[in-house]
Amino acid sequence: MERFLLITAKIERFLLITAKIERFFLITAKIERFLPITAKIERFLLLTAKIE
């Protein structure tokens, strides 16, 4: 019984780690969505530099 509880505790710890990894991937996905906006801003700045 104790061994079973140890195994379940290890599985729970593993699931917590995977949950953190999933959260990290969600954050990186949000950053990736934000990057095209920054690219558009950079393009806009290049155009304004050409106008000047």
The predicted pLDDT at position 39 comes to: 92
Q: HEC states along the chain?
A: CHHHHHHHHHHHHHHHHHHHHHHHHHHHHHHHHHHHHHHHHHHHHHHHHHHC
Any idea which residue has 């599985």 for tokens? 11
Any idea which residue has 């019984």 for tokens? 1
CA distance readout (Å), 38 to 9, 15, 34: 44, 35, 7
Asked whether residue 6 carries a pLDDT value surpassing 90, the answer given is: yes
Read off the pTM.
Answer: 0.55
What are the boundaries of each domain within the chain? 1-52
The predicted pLDDT at position 52 comes to: 81
CA distance 20 to 28: 12
pLDDT tens digits, 7-37: 999 999 999 999 999 999 999 999 999 999 9
